[in-house]
Amino acid sequence: MWACISLALLQGGFDETMGWTTNYILLLPLPHMQVEAGIKKRHCLPCTLILKLDINHPTLEELLEPIKDLYKDVRRKALMRLEYEGLHTVEAVQTPGARFYNDPASYAMDRYAYYVCFKCNKAYYGGEARCDADAGDSYDPAELVCGACSDVARAQMCPKHGADFLEYKCRYCCSVAVFFCFGTTHFCNPCHDDFQRVTILSKGELPVCPAGPRATQLEGDECPLHVKHPATGEEFALGCGVCRNAHTF
């Protein structure tokens, strides 16, 4: 769990055991503390220091409670996806000495990218973390909206998982959407970074399935999402991501 902390350096301070000191460091928790463990949120710019630590203190309990709840939610969803994809028994988890040996939760949170919905504040799946590595830092937080809160196609509610795992396809490629913009359009990370170009492409210029990020044409005839969907350029609800992966794998 990562928490944003402000590090204040005071030129003079008094300690009952040490007397006056000239370099007295005070750690001040900020109200915008956030989790970064499988949850893909950008670095908090006002902070001068980010510590990868578990923080527990009675004084911070009120601030930490929503962060811990968010962490637990991501952990639960990531583990469920890992199991449904049949990856909970991979070598990385079962090989002694491996980084994630006997720790499928950490493996799942390292593998998957999760975002916090601007509307409901719940974590939602946004693809694999490796696909998010080159994403830009310039974005509008209001555009990070989960499938349930951006259900423009009125997808059918999953009877088993409700709206927790509702996903949309990126309008311009065969990837899971992360952003919802203009009140109408779902984007994956790369297409969102290149939205000024992809949104003006005519239907004839758009790639057909299989379509890669940034509206590029992929070779072959197998859709990366393993589903039948409308032509590139149209909105499409993928439905429950967990159940869809259970059928795929």
pTM more than 0.85: no
Question: What dihedral do alpha carbons 40, 42, 47, 50 form, nearest 10°?
Answer: 40
Same domain? 93 vs 146? no
Same domain? 240 vs 196? yes
Provide φ and ψ at 160, rounded to 5°. Answer: -95, -40
Q: Which residue has the higher pLDDT, 66 or 85?
A: 66
Same domain? 73 vs 160? no
Asked if 235 contacts 152 with a C-beta cutoff of 8 angstroms, the reply is yes
- The fraction of the chain above a pLDDT of 70, given in percent, is 71
Range of the domain at 64: 60-113
Question: What dihedral do alpha carbons 3, 29, 140, 224 form, nearest 10°?
Answer: 10
Which residues form the catalytic set? 131, 181
Asked if 82 contacts 88 with a C-beta cutoff of 8 angstroms, the reply is yes
**pLDDT for 81-125, tens place per residue?**
898 888 888 999 999 999 999 999 999 999 988 889 999 888 888
Same domain? 104 vs 139? no
Q: What is the pLDDT of residue 152?
A: 67
The total number of structural domains that make up the chain: 2
Same domain? 83 vs 126? no
Q: What is the pLDDT of residue 8?
A: 32
**pLDDT for 194-249, tens place per residue?**
999 999 999 999 999 999 999 999 999 999 998 999 999 999 988 887 787 654 43
Same domain? 153 vs 206? yes
Same domain? 106 vs 142? no
Separation CA 207–CA 193 (nearest Å): 18
